Each structure stands twice: as C-alpha cells, then as structure tokens.
Amino acid sequence: MKRRHLRHAASSLTALCALTAMLQSGATAAAAEPTTTVDYRGLSLEVPADWTVVDLAKDPRTCVRMDQHTVYLGHPGAEQSCPTHVIAEKTEAIVLEPFAGAGSRFDVPQVVVPAGSPAPRSLPATDSREARLAFEGAGVYATLSHGPSTALVEEVLSSVRVRATAEPETAPRPAVKQRMAAVASSTPSTGYKGKAFDACSAPSSGAMDDWASSPYNGVAIYMGGPSRACSQPNLSASWVSGRSSDGWHILPIYAGLQAGSISSSSAKSQGRAAADAAVDLAQGLGFVRGTVLYIDMESYSSGYRTNVLNYLSGWTERIQELHYRSGVYSSSSTGIKDLSSVYSSTTLERPDVVWVANWNGRADTSDVNLPADQWANHQRVHQYAGNVTETYNGTTIQIDRNYVDVGAANLVADPGMTSLTAGEFTGDSKGDLIAVEVETGKLWLYRGPNVGTKSSRTEIGTGGWNDMTNLAAGDLNHDGKDDLVATEKSTGKLFLYKGNGSGAITGIGGRTEIGTGGWNGMTNVFAGDFNGDGIDDIGATEKSTGKLFLYKGNGNGTITGIGGRTEIGTGGWNG
C-alpha cells in the first residue's frame, strides 16, 4: 500500500509540474506583447505595436509630445501646431534625429554611446524624466521620456541595434549652460504690467517678430519638469536673451509634479527638489536672481489639498533661498483658493506671486477667490481666456491670454556664490574655502584664515563651473594634498581635479573621470575617511531613493563604481 501511494503521489506531482510549466509558458506568451521594428538611419529598435510612428520631415508642424506613446523621426519643427496648455505626466516616447541640425538640450542629461557599444541598460534618474542618448554608430540622437517607472523604456533600449548600413559620426559636445550678466536686457519677468500669452511650445524667433504688433508684450514659456509634455526645440539662452532684448517680458514656468504624484510623507522635500531643478533650468536660460519662477499646479480634487500646500510651501521656501521669487499658477477654485485660505499661516511659506486661472474673459487681476488685501502689491497674474487662436502678420499660434501685474525685484549687485566646499589646498595646514561665482562660472579659492575677505581669494577655474555641481574636497590620490571632485551637470560624469598643495588644481584638460555617468542623480556629495584605512572615500545621496551611499576610495584617485558602493543610509537622506 505504501509503495502504491508513493507511486501515485509521484505521478500526481509530475502531472502538476507539467501543468504548471504549461501555464507559465502560456502566461509568458500572453505577456509578450506584439512589437514593431523602427529603423531610422541604421538605428533599429523595437517598440510596442500600438505605438504611433510619425515622420516629422513629412509633417514638420506636428506637435512633439512626451505624454503619448509615439516615436518621432527627424527634428521637431520650429513652428509646431500644439494645443495651448499640455501639462500631463510624461510617458514613454522617443525622438530619433540626426546629430546634424539637432537643437541643444542642456536641460536633459546626455549619454554618449560609442560605435560598437550596446545601449545603456538604464537611463539617468532626473527630475525631467527625459534623457538623450547619442548613438555614434549611427549619428543619431535618441531622446527618450518616461513616466514614474523606467521599465518599459529600458526594455525598448535593450532592443536597440545599429545596422551595417548606418553611418558612424562623432557626437557633438553636450551644450554647456550659459549664464548672462545682470543687465537690463537679461532680467526678464522682474517687473511688468500688461497682457501676455502662453503657448505649449515656445514660438520661433520669426514668429515672435511677427507678433511684435500684437497687444501682447509678455510671453510665458515652459522651462521643463516632469509634467512638461510639449517639446521645446526653440527654447535656449539665446532665445531668451534675444526676445528680452526685443522688449518681450518673459514668464518662466516649471511643470512640476501634479497633485496625484505628490507623496504625503515627502511633499515638502519634493517641492524643494522641484525648486532646485527649476533654478538650474532658469540659470541655464539666463534668468537672473529676482526673476519670478512659476510652478504649474493644475486643478485637483479636495483630497489632495494638504499634499499640494506642503509641496508648494517647499517650492517657495527653496526658491527664495536661491534668491529667486516664487510664483504659483493654479485654478482659482482649487490651488489659488487653498493658498488664500492659508495666507497668514506661520508654518507654510507664502509665494511671492499668484497666477490665477479663471477664464472669465476679464483682463484684470481681481478674482472671486482672492481677497483684495492678499497679494495686493503688484503680485498677481490672471489667465483670463484659453484655447484661443490668433494670427498676426501671417503667423497663427494657439494661446492662453493673461494679464500681468508683477512688480520689479530688488536686485543686488553682488553676483553671489554657490557650491561651497572646504579643504586644505594651500599647504599651510589651514582650511580654505572653494566656491563658484554664479554669474561668471569662475571657481574661487578663499584662503584661510582670512576667508571672509575678497582680497584673500584666487581664481582657480576660469569659467564653466556653473555647469558643475556636487563639489567636495578630499585627498583621493593619497598624496597628502586635498583634491576637488565635481559632477558635470550636462553629462552626469564625476571628475577629479588634482590639488597641487599650493592653491591650484588641474584644469579641465588634466581632470580625471572617476564616475562614468548618473552622478547628476546624486546630491549631498562629501569626502572623508569613513572605513579607517587612511584613504578618503566619497559619500552621496541618491535623489530618487533618498538612500545614502559610500563609494570607497582606492588611494589612486579612483573610487568604487555603482556596483561596489555600500548603502549606509536606508532612506530619507534626500530630505
């Protein structure tokens, strides 16, 4: 009997295993969605079959949108026909375009993929939820967007192939963010009263010239952010400078997280992170301190009220710390009404300017949900009509209409310093201070102990340092002299600048790359000997997870890579 039972049990187990394998096979087959092969200039990739493929060369006025599953082939057009106001969570979308003729994209990280190398397995973690890959084997940029998860876009990346028919080309150097001097022509939006329009994509310079005869002297543009769904092929520092010189008053908008994506546990820190990203973009476009930076918060249901107010408070707090002015765009009946209700709060920070969306057709700044004594000192913008098509001198744009009454900022003459870090760089055993001058991008060494006087400072980096971040000092090559590490914002690479012990560091030609990419997804970088081996290590916070990581120093000017790093803080360190 026992043997018979055992044989029966074994037979049942075999049948069960066979059934399980069959079901798993069926599930796998069901999960394998059909795909379409897209081949552009020898660069081949697989996308889900239900995605749309658009040839921009055939229809250059197509609105290139990052909130729709679409592959766009060619350069986004300068005269796109876009809806007025597309604020939506980004999803997986791809723009494939040749290197030649492509616009610069300082606002997103660029990863160069050398000829013969596979596509990266993952994208840099950025607030913009976009990245540009430069495939040198085909001479093609692939700009990819994604939602909160990168799983699908990374699956598409795994399918990328470069065919033998492709023509290799060296990728241009990534655009370096420009900073403009604090002169009248480069202080847009510090003060203006009159009509303004906003469009989803910044109009071309020619279109703006045609609209010079319109009743509008102001224009709002969407700088970036996770909810900016329209592409911006025209927007650059030279566009801002040129339009400002022409007399246009520019209102920069950051398309931040929308209510449903704000975390109740970290709303304020998310708002502060949005402010950091917005100021970074604003400085790259040439908006000087004192400019009002607006965050777009679309209408939301009442259940999100607390999260939204905490998020906007964090935004305002950080924007003001960085010497800009905080503006909030929202619906009269939700965001503006809620901000009004906490106007006198002692725990929530109040924005400097409110931008009320209420399409009542009245070109003024009064509003039913805004008492007259709130934001009363030239601190209001009113979007009074939307989805309007207007034509001037033959150029038609779909716009929203706004009336602006915003006072000028009190700008200070001192250009300001940032990215402070301390170390011993002069060999006198006294601490020195290193800082970047915001407007010039120069790197200065302030010699201790008289660090507070400008007479003590020495220029040790001639320019371009406003494209660097995460500065930290430590002896990484174990020669007894402090070195400097810094992240290049445009590429996400981490570089080591060797200190010579006499108040100087190696220049850009002598720097060493010690982190291959993704370091613009890290913050709070610091150096020190944390494992007691006498060699300085690097620590940093991962923005996307809030985890704190230690990268062990090897004593020869290198550190362990991402695979060898150690998690020393489990979360919350991005707060």
What average pLDDT score do residues 248-268 get? 96
Instruction: Please state whether the predicted TM-score (pTM) of the whole model is above 0.75.
Output: no
Enumerate the H helices of 182-249 as residue ranges.
205-210, 237-245
403 touches 394 (CB < 8 A): no
Structure-model confidence comparison of residues 64 and 517, the more confident one: 64
Residues 256 and 296 sit within 8 Å (Cβ to Cβ):
yes
Contact 307, 264 (CB under 8 A): yes
Backbone torsions φ then ψ of 226, nearest 5 degrees: -65, -15
Q: Is the pLDDT of residue 8 over 80?
A: no
The pair of three-digit structure tokens given for residue 451, joined into one six-digit string: 């660090």
Of 521, 511, 536, nearest to 470 by C-alpha is 521
Residue extents of the structural domains in the chain: 35-162, 193-406, 417-569
How far from chain centre, in Å, is Cα 27?
38
CATH number, domain 417-569: 2.115.10.10
Q: Please report the DSSP string for 542-560 in residue order.
A: ETTT--EEEE-B-SSS-B-
136-190 pLDDT, tens digit per residue, is 999 999 999 999 999 999 999 999 999 999 999 999 986 554 433 333 334 445 6
How do residues 507-552 score in pLDDT, each as one tens digit? 888 899 998 888 988 888 999 999 999 999 999 998 888 899 999 9
Closest by Cα among 253, 254, 279, 249 to 188: 249
Bond preceding residue 252 cis, omega within 30 of 0: no
CA-closest candidate to residue 433, choices 413, 457, 411, 412: 457
The answer to whether residue 14 scores a pLDDT higher than 60 is no
pLDDT for 408 beyond 60 = yes
What is the enclosing helix (H) or strand (E) of 395?
strand 395-406
How many Cα neighbours within 13 Å face the side chain of 388?
A: 15
Helix, coil or strand: residue 437:
strand
* Residue-wise pLDDT tens digits, 479-496: 999 999 999 887 889 999
- Give residue-wise pLDDT tens across range 339-372: 999 999 999 999 999 999 999 999 999 999 999 9
The architecture of the domain spanning 193-406 is: Alpha-Beta Barrel (3.20)
Mean pLDDT of the chain: 87
Q: Which residues pair with 45 in a beta bridge?
A: 38
